Structure 1
Amino acid sequence: MELTTICLTALIIGFLLIGNSPIQMPREAWGYTLATVFFAVIGGASFFGQIIHTALPALRQTHDTPEDYFEHIAKVLYHGRVKFSAPDLHFNRKFGICCDQEGHCISCLDLQDEEYGEIQAFLRMLHNRILEDAPNHPLRPGVPRSAEYFKLLQSRRELPVSAMRQEFLDAYHKSKRYLKVVVLMGETGSGKTTQVPQFVWYDEYASGKIVACTQPRRLAATSVASRVADEMGVTLGEEVGYSVRFDDKFRSDISRTDTRLQYMTDGLLLQEALKDANFSEYACIIIDEAHERTKATDILMALLKVAVQKQDDLKVVIMSATMDADKFAQYFGVGQPFNVPGRPHPVDVYYLEKATPDWMVSALHTAKHITDNMPPGDILLFVPTIHNAVECCKRLNEKLANRLHALPLYAALSRSEQAKALSQSTTGTRRCIVATNVAETSLTIDGIVYVIDTGIEMHSSYNPRGDMETLESAEISKASARQRAGRAGRTRPGVCFRMYTKEAFDEDFAPDRPPGILSSSMIQEVLQLLSMGIRNVAGFDFIDPPDTEVYLRALYELNAMGYIDDHAKITPVGKMAAQIPVHPVWYNAIVEGQKLGCGVEMVALAALGSTQDPVLLHPPRVAVARVAHSRFTCPNSDHITNLHALHAYVRTKIQDNMDMAQWCFDAFIDQRVMEEVLQIREQLKAKVQSMLDAPLTSASFDDEFELKIRKALARSLYTNSAIEKGEDVYMTVHDAVPAVVPMTSALFKQGYPWVVFDKVACYGNRIFIENATAVDPEWLASVVQDLPFFQDGMLSVKRDEARTIRQPYVKESLDAARARLRSSAN
Structure 2
Amino acid sequence: MELTTICLTALIIGFLLIGNSPIQMPREAWGYTLATVFFAVIGGASFFGQIIHTALPALRQTHDTPEDYFEHIAKVLYHGRVKFSAPDHHFNREFGICCDQEGHCISCLDLQDEEYGEIQAFSRMLHNRMNSLERNKTTAEQARMLEDAPNHPLRPGVPRPAEYFKILQSRRELPVSAMRQEFLDVYHKSKRYLKVVVLMGETGSGKTTQVPQFVWYDEYASGKIVACTQPRRLAATSVASRVADEMGVTLGEEVGYSVRFDDKFRSDISRTHTRLQYMTDGLLLQEALKDANFSEYACIIIDEAHERTKATDILMALLKVAVQKQDGLKVVIMSAIMDADKFAQYFGVGQPFNVPGRPHPVDVYYLEKATSDWMVSALHTAKHITDNMPPGDILLFVPTIDNVVECCKRLNEKLANRLHALPLYAALSRSKQTKALSQSTTGTRRCIVATNVAETSLTIDGIVYVIDTGIEMHSSYNPRGDMETLESAEISKASARQRAGRAGRAGRTRPGVCFRMYTKEAFDEDFAPEQPPGILSSSMIQEVLQLMSMGIRNVAGFDFIDPPDTEVYLRALYELNAMGYIDDHAKITPVGKMGAQIPVHPVWYNAIVEGQKLGCGVEMVALAALGSTQDPVLLHPPRVAVARVAHSRFTCSNSDHITNLHALHAYVRTKIQDNMDMAQWCFDAFIDQRVMEEVLQIREQLKAKVQSMLDAPLTSASFDDEFELKIRKALARGLYTNSAIEKGEDVYMTVHDAVPAVVPMTSALFKQGYPWVVFDKVACYGNRIFIENATAVDPEWLASVVQDLPFFQDGMLSVKRDEARTIRQSYVKESLDAARARLRSSAN
**When the two structures are superposed, what TM-score results if normalisation uses the length of structure 2?**
0.84
Q: 1:499 to 1:752 in 2, by over 3 A?
A: same
1:48-86 CA-partner distances (Å, limit 9, x unpaired): 999999999999999999999999999999999999999
CA contact (8 A) 1:40 1:60 kept: no
Deviations 1:659-715 (A, max 9, x none): 100000000000000000000000000110011000000001100000000000011
Distance in 1 between residues matched to 2:396 and 2:667, nearest whole Å: 33
Tell whether the 8 Å contact from 1:78 to 1:204 is kept in structure 2 after alignment: no
Q: State how far apart, in whole Å, the 1-side matches of 2:586 and 2:295 are.
A: 28
**Change in 2 beyond 3 A, CA 1:814/1:74:** farther
Cα displacement (A) at 1:513 = 1.1
Structure 1: which 4+ aligned runs deviate by more than 4 Å? 1-129, 251-257, 484-492
Could you tell which deviates more after superposition, 7-16 or 594-603?
7-16
Distance 1:156 1:44, change over 3 A: closer
Counterparts of 2:555 and 2:819 in 1: how far apart (Å)? Answer: 33
User: How far apart, CA to CA, are the structure 2 residues paired with 1:409 and 1:12?
Assistant: 69
Conserved 8 A contact 1:67-1:138 = no
CA contact (8 A) 1:752 1:774 kept: yes
What is the rounded CA distance, in whole Å, between the counterparts of 1:510 and 1:462 in structure 2? 19
CA contact (8 A) 1:75 1:206 kept: no
Q: Deviations over 1:138-168 (max 9, x none)?
A: 0101011123100000000000100101100
CA–CA separation in structure 1 for the residues paired with 2:91 and 2:338 = 45
Q: Secondary structure at the match of 2:229?
A: strand
Deviation at 1:314, TM superposition (A): 0.3
Bigger shift: 46-55 or 312-321?
Answer: 46-55
Q: Deviation digits for residues 566-587 of structure 1, max 9, x if unmatched?
A: 1111111111111111000011
Give, in whole Å, the separation in 2 of the partners of 1:538 and 1:116. 65
Question: How far apart, CA to CA, are the structure 1 residues paired with 2:22 and 2:807?
Answer: 73
How far does residue 726 in structure 1 lie from its aligned partner after superposition? 1.1
Distance 1:801 1:163, change over 3 A: same
1:615 aligns with 2:633: yes
Asked if 2 retains the 8 angstrom alpha-carbon contact of 1:450 and 1:488, the reply is: no
What whole-Å deviation, never above 9, does each CA across 1:506-539 have from its counterpart, x for those lacking one? 0000001110000000000000000000011000
Q: CA deviation at 1:345?
A: 1.0
Equivalent-residue separation in structure 1 for 2:12 and 2:177 (angstroms): 18
8 Å Cα contact 1:66/1:134 also seen in 2: no
Whether the 8 Å contact between 1:488 and 1:495 is mirrored in structure 2 is no
- Counterpart of 1:786 (choices 789, 804, 820) is 804
Where 1:257 maps in the other structure, the secondary structure is helix
Give TM-score scaled by structure 1 length.
Answer: 0.86
Contact 1:252-1:258 at 8 Å conserved across structures? no
CA contact (8 A) 1:755 1:773 kept: yes
The 3 A distance-change label for structure 1 pair 61 and 317 is farther
Please state how far the C-alpha of 1:7 moved relative to its aligned partner. Answer: 26
Deviation at 1:128, TM superposition (A): 13
Q: How far apart, in 2, do the equivalents of 1:100 and 1:535 lie?
A: 62
Query: Is the 2:71–2:121 contact (alpha carbons within 8 Å) kept by the matching residues of 1?
Result: no
**How many angstroms does 1:613 deviate by?**
0.4
Question: CA contact under 8 A between 1:23 and 1:134: conserved in structure 2?
Answer: no
Secondary structure of the equivalent of 2:421? strand
Q: Percent identity?
A: 97
Question: In structure 2, do the counterparts of structure 1 residues 227 and 451 end up closer, same or farther at CA, with 3 Å as the change threshold?
Answer: same
Which one of the candidate residues 780, 803, 814 is aligned to 2:821? Answer: 803
User: CA distance change for structure 1 residues 408 and 40 in 2, over 3 Å: closer, same or farther?
Assistant: same
SS of the residue 1:184 aligns to: strand
Instruction: Provide closer, same or farther for how the CA distance between residues 402 and 20 of structure 1 changes in structure 2, counting only shifts above 3 A.
Output: farther
| Contact 1:283-1:314 within 8 A present in 2 as well | yes
CA distance in 1, matches of 2:117, 2:195: 16
Count of aligned residue pairs for this structure pair = 826
Q: Which deviates more from structure 2 when the two are superposed, residues 70-79 or residues 535-544?
A: 70-79
Contact (CA 8 Å) 1:710, 1:774: kept in 2 or not?
Answer: yes
Report the CA distance shift for 1:442/1:633 in structure 2 as closer, same or farther (over 3 A). same
Q: Kindly tell me: are residues 399 and 475 of structure 1, through their superposed partners in 2, closer, same or farther at Cα, counting changes over 3 Å?
A: same
> In structure 1, how many angstroms separate the alpha carbons of the residues matched to 2:21 and 2:396?
44
Q: 1:562 to 1:363 in 2, by over 3 A?
A: same
> Would you say the 8 A contact 1:603–1:681 is kept in 2?
yes
- Structure 2 vs 1, CA of residues 775 and 108 (structure 1 numbering), >3 Å: closer, same or farther? same
1:41–1:669 distance in 2 versus 1, CA, 3 Å = same
- 1:553 lines up with 2:559 in the alignment: no
Please report how far the alpha carbon of residue 255 of structure 1 lies from its aligned counterpart in structure 2 after TM superposition. 7.0
Q: Which moved more, 1:611-620 or 1:38-47?
A: 38-47
In 1, the alpha carbon distance for the partners of 2:266 and 2:569 equals 39
Paired residues of 1:87 and 1:103 also in contact (CA < 8 A): no
Aligned-pair distance for 1:111?
Answer: 45
Alignment map for 1:401-480 (pairs within 5 Å): 401-480=416-495
Q: Is the 8 A contact 2:94 2:118 kept in 1?
A: no
1:713 to 713, 728, 731: 731
SS of the residue 1:176 aligns to: coil
1:579 pairs, out of 597, 606, 618, with 597
Distance change in 2, residues 1:104/1:345 (3 Å): closer
Q: For 1:83, what is the secondary structure of its paired residue? A: coil
Distance in 2 (alpha carbons) for counterparts of 1:486 and 1:396 = 22
Flag structure 2 segments of 5+ consecutive residues without an equivalent: 130-144
1:621-653 alpha-carbon deviations (Å, 9 max, x no partner): 111011111110000000000000000000000
Secondary structure of the structure 2 residue equivalent to 1:488:
coil
Give the SS at the match of 1:661: helix
- The answer to whether the aligner puts 1:754 opposite 2:772 as a matched pair is yes
Residue pair 1:210, 1:261 contacting (<8 A) in 2 also:
yes
Find the aligned partners of 1:513 and 1:131 in 2 and give their Cα distance. 42
Deviation at 1:135, TM superposition (A): 1.0
- Structure 2 CA distance, aligned partners of 1:572 and 1:393? 51
Q: Is the 8 A contact 1:222 1:242 kept in 2?
A: yes
Alpha-carbon contact 1:3-1:46 (below 8 Å) kept: no
1:783 CA drift (Å): 2.2
Displacement of 1:312 in angstroms is 1.4
SS in 2 for 1:715: helix
Structure 1 Cα separation of the partners of residues 515 and 639 of structure 2: 33
Distance 1:638 1:632 in 2: 10
Aligned to 2:489, the other structure's residue is in SS state strand
Farther off after superposition, 255-264 or 544-553? 255-264
Contact 1:36 1:61 in 2 (8 A): no
CA contact (8 A) 1:721 1:754 kept: yes
Shift of 1:799: 1.0
Does the 8 Å contact 1:183/1:328 carry over to 2? yes
SS in 1 for 2:44: coil
Pair 816,370 (structure 1): closer, same or farther in 2 beyond 3 Å = same
Deviation at 1:38, TM superposition (A): 10
Cα distance in structure 2, aligned partners of 1:614 and 1:194: 35
Change (3 A) 1:49 1:150: closer
In structure 1, C-alpha distance between the alignment counterparts of 2:726 and 2:16, rounded to whole Å = 74
Conserved? CA contact 1:451–1:488, under 8 Å: no
- For the pair shown, the structure with the greater C-alpha radius of gyration is 2
Offset from partner CA, 1:181-229 (integer Å, 9 cap, x none): 0000000010000000000001110100000000000000000000000
Shift of 1:493: 2.9
State whether residues 58 and 65 of structure 1, in contact with CA within 8 Å, keep that contact through their aligned partners in structure 2: no
Distance of aligned partners of 1:432 and 1:729 in 2 relative to their CA distance in 1, 3 Å threshold: same
CA RMSD of aligned residues (A): 10.4
- Kindly tell me: are residues 309 and 88 of structure 1, through their superposed partners in 2, closer, same or farther at Cα, counting changes over 3 Å? farther
Change in 2 beyond 3 A, CA 1:165/1:113: farther
**SS in structure 2 of the partner of residue 762 of structure 1:** strand
Alpha-carbon distance change, 472 to 705 in structure 1, aligned in 2, over 3 angstroms: same
Give 1:344 deviation, angstroms.
1.0
What secondary structure sits across from 1:772 in the alignment? strand
SS in 2 for 1:177: coil
Name the CA shift for 1:781/1:190 in 2 (closer, same or farther; >3 Å): same
The aligned runs of 1:85-164 (5 Å cut-off) are 130-164=145-179
Q: 1:615 to 1:497 in 2, by over 3 A?
A: same
Q: 2:551 & 2:694 partners in 1: Cα distance?
A: 32
1:475-495 deviation per Cα after TM superposition (whole angstroms, max 9, x unaligned) = 000000000558677896310
Change (3 A) 1:308 1:177: closer
Distance 1:105 1:356, change over 3 A: closer
CA distance in 1, matches of 2:791, 2:445: 49
Residue 125 of structure 1, CA deviation: 18
**Cα offset for 1:750?**
0.3
Return closer, same or farther for 1:700/1:127 CA change in 2, 3 Å cut-off: closer
Deviation at 1:136, TM superposition (A): 1.1
Moved more, 680-689 or 170-179: 170-179
The Cα of 1:784 is off from its aligned counterpart by 3.4
